[in-house]
């Protein structure tokens, strides 16, 4: 079982499937970076909140769902 990787809630994904997931993660990271840079130049509070939502949903699809659901409620306190 050396060429398979265990992923929570997804069972076993072989190395080729893992490479596809990594490519998707890189694409999401680049997209988030571009959006973040645009929002920083927009320089408003709403931009920061939108960026945090984007990051949280990206993490949700990047196997960190436990982290996301524990920190997601904190978004309600950011604008206060």
34 is a domain residue: yes
Average pLDDT, the chain: 64
19 is a domain residue: yes
What are the backbone dihedrals phi and psi of residue 16, each rounded to the nearest 5 degrees, phi first? -65, -40
48 is a domain residue: yes
Counted domains in the chain: 1
Chain-centroid distance, C-alpha 67: 10
Q: What residues of the chain score a pLDDT lower than 50? A: 1, 11, 79-80
- The CB density around residue 55, as the number of other CB atoms within 10 Å, is 17
Residue with the two structure tokens 């960026």:
51
Whole-number Cα distances in Å, 18 to 7, 15, 34, 46, 49: 10, 5, 24, 35, 31
Q: What is the pLDDT of residue 19?
A: 73
> Would you say how long the chain is, in residues?
80
Provide the β-strand partners of residue 25: none
- The CB density around residue 49, as the number of other CB atoms within 10 Å, is 14
Q: What is the pLDDT of residue 61?
A: 66
Structural domain range at position 28: 14-78
Q: What is the pLDDT of residue 34?
A: 74
């Amino acid at each position: 079982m050396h060429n398979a990787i265990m992923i929570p809630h997804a069972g076993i994904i072989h190395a080729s499937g893992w490479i596809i997931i990594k490519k998707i993660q890189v694409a999401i990271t680049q997209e988030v970076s571009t959006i973040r840079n645009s929002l920083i130049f927009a320089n408003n509070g709403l931009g920061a909140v939108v960026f945090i939502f984007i990051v949280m949903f990206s993490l949700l699809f990047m196997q960190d769902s436990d982290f996301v659901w524990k920190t997601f409620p904190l978004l309600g306190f950011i604008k206060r």
